[in-house]
Every structure is written in C-alpha cells, then in structure tokens.
C-alpha cells in the first residue's frame, strides 16, 4: 500500500504542470512498469487503466494488488462515487472527475494508463471547454515494434497480420499527436526507461511538474492498485531492470522484415528505432 503523505520527507509542495497525465501506448509496451515507477512518487497517484474499469468489473478482473476490485482497500473508497456519479462511463471521466480523485487520495498529480482508450475520447475532450482550460499531459510510450510483436504473438493467436494492421493504425495516430501538441506531449522509449531509469524518470517528473524521488527506482517495493493491469510477471517483483529482447530468438526473418517495413513507414518509429 502506498505510504501515507505525512510519513514522507520530500520536497515542498508546488503546483504540477500536468496534474492529469495520460500514458498512450500500444499493449505490451511497458506502461505498467512506467506506472509502477510513477506510483512510487509521494505526490503521484497512478490508477492503471481507469477508463477500462467497467470492463474490468464485468470480467471480474482483479486489482493489481491481487484483490477483487470491489474488495480492494483502495478502490472500495472510490468505487461508489465512480458508480453513482459517473455510471462507470469513461466518456464522463472529465478533468473534474480526475481532480476529485486526486484530491480525495491526497495527491498532486494523477496518471492514467488507459492507452488507446484515451485517444478514442480525445475529440470529445478537447472540444469541451473544460478540457481546453486544463493542463492535461500525454506521455507517448514507445517500444521496439519487434518486441511488441513478439510479446503479442506469445500471448495470443491472432497472428502477425492483425498486429501489424492495428499497430500501424495507432502509431500513425500517435505520430500526429506528437506533431500537433508539443508542450503537453512527451515521447518516451521503453528501452531508455530500462537502461537509464533515473534519467528518464527525471524527464517525466519535469514534464509532470514535480521533483524526482529516488524511491521511484524501487517499483517492486510497494503494492500498487491498478485497474486492468498487465498480468505479466516479467520484472514484476524485481527492481533491476532489463530490456526484454526475446524477439531476437522468437521472430522469424520474414516476421522481422515485415515489422521493419512498418518502422520505415512511420517517422515516429523510424526516428526512435533506426534500422541498420
């Protein structure tokens, strides 16, 4: 369970630049790892994929703490309000909603890992006057597409064609986002987070508007309360990070060639993962 505010000796409170920050990525790109690290900060609350809470409850998925969401010590405090006031409808999750959750949990910034779900609602968000005046931030988290593809092929049997179609579609959308919103968008590579965690977390903290705290490097030391969280055990209980490059032995030469063609076709990926 996250430590109580009064037990932490940290920097003086200052308003966050982006008190509401969303992580946009494709599945199997490291968002849960990033979320755990951010949730270690004394002034940041990460809620996992909160926009998928209705789906999580319907499927009886567990909170990342291991308890059923309805029985989780954290979500029991907030679930009644989310049900009664918002009907579990993520399209009603406005800045005011996130702000109330942030305040109720005594934090200064809140991070949502809902990935593509966020992008699906962005037209509604930014056409709404409340969103135009809010300092919402967006972290576009990238991972080597070959690693993403290998992870997906390892966990489901939907095939490479489906992955490439969906991945290319979403990467083009994220590319447009990074081009159009410079001040409130931060691009981050999963590989850099694993290789240089302190450096990259300092970048993220600067973006959010708070100071880096060393305990952010110890993401395995706390119990987190994430909605619709990844169930992968990879690096779940360890603090020593390493890049998952199993794709090198798992993908065929033809699969690598086809994924490389997608990298070459999208500038956002080509810049992040230049091919030799």
Domain boundaries, the chain: 13-143+183-241
Instruction: Find the mean pLDDT for residues 24-42.
Output: 96
Quick: pLDDT tens for 41-100: 999 999 999 999 999 999 999 999 999 999 999 999 999 999 999 999 998 888 889 999
| Residue 5 pLDDT greater than 80, yes or no | no
Chain centre distance of CA 189? 12
Matching CATH number, 13-143+183-241, of 1.10.10.60, 3.40.50.300, 3.40.640.10, 3.40.47.10? 3.40.50.300
Instruction: Find the mean pLDDT for residues 240-268.
Output: 95
Q: What is the pLDDT of residue 8?
A: 32
Contact 179, 131 (CB under 8 A): no
Contact 130, 95 (CB under 8 A): yes
| Residue 217 pLDDT greater than 50, yes or no | yes
| Residue 102 pLDDT greater than 80, yes or no | yes
| Residue 144 pLDDT greater than 90, yes or no | yes
| Residue 3 pLDDT greater than 60, yes or no | no
| Residue 12 pLDDT greater than 80, yes or no | no
Q: What is the pLDDT of residue 240?
A: 74
Q: What is the pLDDT of residue 173?
A: 92
């Amino acid at each position: 369970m996250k430590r109580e505010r009064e037990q932490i000796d940290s920097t003086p409170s200052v308003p966050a630049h982006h008190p509401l920050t969303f992580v946009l990525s494709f599945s199997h790109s490291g968002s849960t790892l990033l979320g755990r690290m951010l949730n270690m900060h004394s002034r940041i609350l990460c809620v996992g994929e909160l926009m998928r809470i209705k789906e999580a409850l319907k499927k009886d998925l567990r909170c990342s703490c291991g308890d059923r969401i309805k029985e989780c010590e954290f979500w029991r405090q907030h679930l009644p309000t989310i049900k009664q006031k918002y009907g579990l409808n993520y399209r009603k999750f406005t800045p005011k909603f996130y702000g109330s959750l942030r305040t109720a949990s005594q934090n200064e910034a809140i991070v949502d890992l809902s990935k593509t779900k966020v992008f699906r609602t962005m037209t509604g968000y930014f056409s709404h006057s409340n969103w135009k005046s809010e300092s919402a931030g967006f972290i576009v988290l990238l991972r080597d597409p070959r690693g993403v593809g290998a992870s997906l092929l390892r966990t489901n049997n939907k095939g490479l064609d489906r992955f490439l179609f969906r991945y290319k579609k979403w990467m083009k959308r994220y590319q447009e986002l990074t081009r159009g919103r410079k001040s409130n968008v931060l691009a981050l590579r999963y590989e850099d987070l694993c290789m240089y965690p302190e450096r990259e977390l300092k970048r993220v903290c600067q973006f959010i508007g708070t100071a880096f705290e060393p305990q952010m490097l110890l993401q395995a030391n706390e119990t987190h309360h994430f909605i619709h969280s990844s169930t992968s055990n990879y690096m779940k209980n360890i603090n020593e990070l390493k890049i998952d490059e199993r794709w090198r032995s798992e993908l065929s030469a033809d699969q690598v060639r086809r994924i490389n063609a997608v990298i070459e076709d999208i500038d956002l990926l080509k810049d992040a993962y230049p091919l030799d």
